[in-house]
Amino acid sequence: EYVDYYGGPGIQHIALNTKDIIKAITNLRARGMEFLSIPDTYYTSLREKLKSSKVKITEDMNQVNVVQHFLQLAD
């Protein structure tokens, strides 16, 4: 599907292991990496899921929304 849509190869998904995801994403953007735009509704839904999740996010969720990166909850 990705190859058909974009007409060739590319990177669809990466995983990062970092102590500061906000800084990592900010630095990657500063170096020219492009990310998909994430709708605000994603973060609204994420906040609701976090209320009942075992996963605890220590980052400021408003800042997370600003840098727009996906958080996948692994329960």
Locate the domains of the chain by residue range.
1-67
Cβ-based neighbours of 59, under 8 Å, separated by 6 or more? 21, 22
Assessment of whether the complete model's pTM goes beyond 0.75: no
Q: What does the alpha-carbon distance between residue 59 and residue 43 come to, in Å, rounded to a whole number?
A: 13
| DSSP H helices in 1-75 | 2-6, 21-30, 40-51, 61-67
The first and second tokens of residue 5, run together, are 């849509």
Reported as a single tens digit per residue, the pLDDT across 15-72 is 888 888 888 888 988 999 887 777 888 878 888 888 888 888 777 777 776 666 655 5
Q: How much is the average pLDDT of 3-16?
A: 77
Q: What does the alpha-carbon distance between residue 58 and residue 19 come to, in Å, rounded to a whole number?
A: 11
